[in-house]
Amino acid sequence: MKQPVFFLSHGGGPWPWLDGPFREGFAWLEASLKALPAQLPEPPRAVLAVSGHWEEAEFTVSSAAQPGMVYDYYGFPKHTYHISYPAPGDPALAARVRALAAAAGITVGDDPARGFDHGTFSMMQPIRPQADLPVVSLSMKVGYDPAAHLALGRALAPLREEGVVIMGSGLSYHNLRMFDARAAEPSRQFDGWLRHSLLDLDPEARAAALLRWEQAPYARVTHPREDHLIPLMVAVGAAGGDPGVCIYSENDLRGGITASAYRFGEDVTPTGFDKLAA
């Protein structure tokens, strides 16, 4: 069976390993991530995670059999620099990613030393806390060309028939200098544009809209640097002609930010975690 594709929020830093108000601020996101396995048509073989925290001069895939950890955050408690998400890698899947990309004329490099960054492990911890599902990481390409990332997603679409769940990991709003109530209106308007583009347009128009994402309302306010948006392009490319559904939304993240996440596939059943549903 064909697995769906996701664009998810991974939250802030190592939040699943924290307690108190910071962790509680991601309660709705956490509930939506825990609900994700029930949305799969059958148990997956592996996850291919496109992280908003990894970019290289060329697309690159992690090929370690036992990936380590990349603590790519700062200012958190000491114990969060010793946490572990001990999921295995999948060198065979990494090789398959490179082969599919090459067949489409796209170069994908190989990194046997790359570990899990928090764009991957903070997302996967609520989804698969037992850490027994192989996870392979895929980088973005420097320059953030939407067309290039859409093309890579299209090239990797056959993985969906091979038991692989493709997950773009980022955040629909990501301006760390405005991560407070000032973001309420910009995030609301950008999120509205994103929802319309992903859910209301046909697949061809959907992709065309993403190519022009900088024309969206408050585009460069919500994404001064689009690293947390570009994983969506890979997901939409891999989605092909499949429709999408919003599987997580809220308008009170961190004091008023609107954020959302999406699933693309044949099943467009809502999940119950869309606070903004009409």
> Which two structure tokens, joined as six digits, stand for 37?
């396995």
Torsion over CA: 72, 35, 206, 260 (sign)? negative
pLDDT at 49: 98
pLDDT at 179: 85
pLDDT at 277: 85
Ordered strands of the 46-56 beta sheet: 108-111, 59-62, 135-141, 46-56, 164-170, 5-9, 257-264, 244-253
pTM of the model: 0.97
Using one digit for the tens of pLDDT, what is the confidence trace for 4-49? 999 999 999 999 999 999 999 999 999 999 999 999 999 999 999 9
pLDDT at 255: 79
278 pLDDT band, cuts 50/70/90, is low
CA distances (Å), 39 to each of 15, 124, 245, in order?
Answer: 23, 15, 12
pLDDT at 109: 98
51 pLDDT band, cuts 50/70/90, is very high
Say yes or no to pLDDT of 249 above 70.
yes
Nearest alpha-carbon partner for 248 in 43, 48, 29, 46: 29
Any idea where the domains of the chain sit in the sequence? Answer: 5-264
229 pLDDT band, cuts 50/70/90, is very high
**What fold does the segment set 5-264 form as a domain?**
Protocatechuate 4,5-dioxygenase; Chain B (3.40.830)
177 pLDDT band, cuts 50/70/90, is confident
Tell me the average pLDDT of the chain: 96
pLDDT at 197: 98
* CA-based radius of gyration for the chain: 17
Say yes or no to pLDDT of 190 above 70.
yes
Across the range 57-76, mean pLDDT stands at: 97
176 pLDDT band, cuts 50/70/90, is confident
Q: Are 153 and 234 a contacting pair, CB within 8 Å?
A: yes
Using one digit for the tens of pLDDT, what is the confidence trace for 72-106? 999 999 999 999 999 999 999 999 999 999 999 99
Using one digit for the tens of pLDDT, what is the confidence trace for 139-175? 999 999 999 999 999 999 999 999 999 999 999 999 9
pLDDT at 195: 97
178 pLDDT band, cuts 50/70/90, is confident
Across the range 253-260, mean pLDDT stands at: 90
Q: Are 251 and 176 a contacting pair, CB within 8 Å?
A: no
Nearest alpha-carbon partner for 236 in 199, 183, 192: 199
